Amino acid sequence: MKLPVSYEQFVKNPIVGLMFLCISALAYLYLSSSGDKNESLEQCNVRVEKLEADKELLSLHLRKRDSALAYASAMLTLKDIAK
């Protein structure tokens, strides 16, 4: 494999060679991090869907309990009035 910067060019101007290496490393890290972001985004989406399903279930239970509490409160009120 032929490198874009030869050894002779690197010896003549080492700053350009080092900058080439730094830019290559930054490009690799950027591409690597974008892949990690996509994976974590998918995991978050799955978690959000699960939490939304749990929220719906808890809301349903809360409505049932609220109705039962209102009924029991009304019955107690009626018993107090009937006394």
Buried (b) or exposed (e) across 45-55, using 16+ Cβ within 10 A? eeeeeeeeeee
4 contacts 11 by C-beta, under 8 angstroms: no
Report which of residues 46 and 39 the model is more confident about.
46
Neighbour count for residue 59 (Cβ, 10 Å): 10
- In the chain, where are the structural domains located? 7-82
Q: pTM for this one?
A: 0.49
Q: Quick one: pLDDT at residue 51? A: 95
Tokens standing for 64?
A: 């049932």
The conformation of residue 79, written as its DSSP 8-state character, comes to H
Average pLDDT rounded to a whole number, residues 58-65:
91
